[in-house]
Amino acid sequence: MKTDTVFKRAFNRTLDLMVRSEIEDPLPSENALRRRLGVSRTTIRKVLGELDQRGVIVATTRSQVEDRQVLPNDYFPDVETMPRNLHIERQLMEWMLRGDTKPGTLINELELARQFGVATSGIREFLIRFSRFGLLEKRPNSGWIFEGFTKEFALDLFEIRVMFELRSARLFAKQSDHSPLWEKLETLKRAHLDLLGEIDHRFHDFSSLDNRFHRLVNEASPNRFIDDFYDIITFIFHYHYQWNKRDEKQRNHAALVEHLAYIDALLSHDLSRVEVAAGAHLSSARETLLESLLAPS
Amino acid sequence: MKTDTVFKRAFNRTLDLMVRSEIEDPLPSENALRRRLGVSRTTIRKVLGELDQRGVIVATTRSQVEDRQVLPNDYFPDVETMPRNLHIERQLMEWMLRGDTKPGTLINELELARQFGVATSGIREFLIRFSRFGLLEKRPNSGWIFEGFTKEFALDLFEIRVMFELRSARLFAKQSDHSPLWEKLETLKRAHLDLLGEIDHRFHDFSSLDNRFHRLVNEASPNRFIDDFYDIITFIFHYHYQWNKRDEKQRNHAALVEHLAYIDALLSHDLSRVEVAAGAHLSSARETLLESLLAPS
DNA sequence: AAGTTGTTTTTTATGGATAAAAATTCACCA
DNA sequence: TGGTGAATTTTTATCCATAAAAAACAACTT
C-alpha cells in the first residue's frame, strides 16, 4: 500500500508552525493550510484529526490552538516522512557510487528489492528513471548492466557541460542591459562575497550557491534539454560529493573565487573574457572530479 | 502474466528459416538455434516442442525437418508477436503526437490503461521512460502533464542538435587519414548515390540511410550523452514522419542531395566547408519539421 | 572434455489488489 | 454567492502473485 509519508511530513510541519507561532489562535482554514503545506485538503484534515485526537488542539471550536505544549515526542520520526522512492534512490545511489560496485556489474532487481526491503516495482522505476544518466543499460527480459561511474563517464559529462555552459554564458553576456537577470546576477555576486568572508565555517553553503549560479546563467536563453542535462549534473554531484568530503573547504574556496571572476566577466559584457573565465572554472571542476574518482576517500 | 511474444516471434522466425531452407535436415543443436535467434534455450525448446506437436518436425529423431509443408496458417499473427511495452509505446505516441492532444493536457494513468487495455504499471513505465524526451512532466502524487509537441520543443531540439552535429563533424573531419571511418563514409556515399538514382520508387529507404550517416559522424569521437540525444531525435522523428507523409519523396530527395554535399565536405577535410554543409542540412531539416508542425497533414 | 539434451531454480514482465492522497461533489451559512 | 466543512469518488503509490523467459544445474553422449 501507499506510504503515508505525505501525511506524516505534513503533520510534523504543522507542529513546527505551531511551535514557531506561525499558526495563531483562530486556526487558518483548511484551504489556507493546504496551500501553505502544498498538500491536498484530504491530508490536512487527517492532520487536524490527529492533532485533535492527541489533544494538541481542541476540535470543536478550533479556537484553542495549543491545548497543550507540543512535545518532541509528538513528531513522527524522520525516516517515516521520507517517500519510498527517495528512500530507494538514496540506497541505490549509495550502492552504485559509493560501494565497490564494479563497472559491468549485473543488476538483479529481485535481489536489490530484498536487500532494501521494498517491492521490485520500486527498483524498476528507479532504474528506468536513472537510465537516462548514462550509467545503466537495460537488456530486455534479462537485467541491467551498471556501466560504472568511471573517468570516461566524467569526461563525457564534462564535454557536454562545457559546450552548454559556454553557449549559455555567451547568450547571457549578450543580453540587453534592461534584462532583470543582471540584477539577479548582482545579488548573486554579493552572496558570493558574503560567503567568501565566512568561508571558514560556512563552506557547506557553496553547493546551493553553485547551483543557483549555473541555473541563472541558463535562464537568459532557456532550453529544456540543457535544463535536463543540468539536472543530471546536479544529481550526480549531489551524491558524489556527499560521500567525498576530502578537501571540501579548499575546493569550495577555489570555486568561489572562480565564480567571482566568471561573474565579473559576465558583467563586463566582454565575450572573450567570459569564455576564458567560464572555461577556467569548468576545467578546474573537471580536475576536481577526476581526482576524486581516481583517489576515492 | 508475462506475454509470450518472445516465444511466438521465435516460432515464426523458425518457420521462416525452415521455409527458406536455412535450417537443413539434421536440425542444429538447441544452443546453435538459441544464438541464431537471440533467445534463451528455454524458449527454443518450447518452439521445438510446439513444432513437434503440430507435426512439422519429428521429435524422436529430429532428422526429418519438414515432416509436412509449413502452412501460412502455422504462423502466429503479428499482433501476438509484439511485446506489450512496444504496443503501449505505439499507442501512447499516437495519442501524443498524432491525435489532437493539446499542450497542457493532464495524463491519467488509470484512464489510459483502461483505454489501451493494459495494466497501469505498463503506462507508468512508459511515462517514466519517455519523460526524458522533455515532452512530459511529473507531479508527484498527482499525474503527468503533456507539454505538447510544439514549435518551441522543435526549436530547443534543433539548437542542441546543431551544437552536437557541428562538434562531431569537426572532429570527424580532423581524424587521421588512416581511420577506418573514411572507408565507411565512402561506402555510405555510394549508398547515397545509388538511392539517388532510384529515388522515385525507393525514397522510403532514406530514413535508415539518414540514421546510419548521422551515427557514423558521431562514431569518430563517441560521447554517450550525444548518442542518447540522437536516440531522442530518432525516436521522435520515427513516429512523427510515420504519420506525416506529405511531400515525403521531395523532402527525402532534397535531404539526400544535402547529405552528399555534407559527405564531400567531410572528405575534403576542409573545416569551414564542413560547417557550411552541415549547417545547411540541419537548417533545412529544421524548416521541414517546423512546417509539418504548423500545417499537419 | 566439450557439446547435447533434460530438469530445476531464479528472475523479469505484467496484471491486480489496496491504502494513501488527491479531486470532486454536496450541503450549509454568513 | 463564494467560502467552509463534510462526505464521496477517483487516482496514484506500492506490494504481491504468477506466467514467461532466462539462467543454472545435472546427466548423458560421443
pLDDT digit string (tens) for B177-224? 999 999 999 999 999 999 999 999 999 999 999 999 999 999 999 999
pLDDT of residue B59: 64
Is residue B155 over pLDDT 80?
yes
Does A84 contact strand D, using a CB cutoff of 7 Å?
Answer: yes
Residue A296 — very low, low, confident or very high, per pLDDT cuts 50/70/90?
A: low
Q: How far apart are CA A8 and CA A269, in angstroms?
A: 50
A19 pLDDT tier (thresholds 50, 70, 90): confident
- Of A49-58, A168-177, B84-93, give the lowest mean pLDDT range: A49-58
pLDDT tens-digit map of B44-88:
999 999 999 998 887 655 655 666 788 899 999 999 999 999 999
Using a CB-CB cut-off of 8 Å, the residues of chain B touching A141 are 6
- CB atoms near residue A151 (< 10 Å): 12
Does residue A150 sit at the B interface (CB-CB below 8 Å)? no
pLDDT at B63: 57
**Segment A132-171, tens digit of pLDDT:** 999 999 999 999 999 999 999 999 999 999 999 999 999 9
Q: Where does the pLDDT of residue A62 fall: very low under 50, low under 70, confident under 90, or very high at 90 and above?
A: low
A15-23, long-range: CB < 8 A, 24+ apart: A15/A56, A15/A70, A15/A74, A15/A75, A18/A56, A18/A65, A18/A66, A18/A70, A19/A70, A23/A65
Q: Give me the torsion for CA of A211, A217, A220, A225, rounded to 10°.
A: -70
Residues A242, B142: Cα–Cα separation, whole Å: 30
Nucleotide nearest to A140 (CA to C1'): C12
Instruction: Check whether residue A79 has its CB closer than 7 Å to nucleic acid strand D.
Output: no
Looking up cell 544529481, which residue turns up?
A: A235
A156 neighbourhood in chain B, CB within 8 Å? 223-225
Q: Do A160 and B128 touch (CB under 8 A)?
A: no
Q: Nearest nucleotide (C1') to the CA of residue B122?
A: C14
CA distance B43 to B34: 8
- Output the average pLDDT for chain A: 93
Q: Please state, for a pLDDT cut of 70, what percent of chain A lies above it.
A: 96
pLDDT band (50, 70, 90) for residue A61 = low
**Strand D contact nucleotides, protein CB < 7 Å:** 3-8, 10-24
What pLDDT does A217 receive? 98
Instruction: Note which residues in 106-125 of chain A have CB less than 8 A from chain B.
Output: 121, 124-125
Residues 5..34 of B with a Cβ closer than 8 Å to A: which? 6
Domains of chain A: 5-81 (1.10.10.10), 84-146 (1.10.10.10), 151-294 (1.20.120.530)
Output the nine-digit C-alpha cell for B137: 512532466
Rg (CA), chain A: 24
pLDDT score at B26: 78
Higher pLDDT, A217 or A58: A217
Confidence check: pLDDT of A25 > 80: no
Q: Using CA atoms, how far apart are residues B187 and A285, in angstroms rounded to an integer? A: 42
Is pLDDT at A297 greater than 60 in this prediction? no
Which nucleotide lies nearest residue B127, CA to C1'? D12
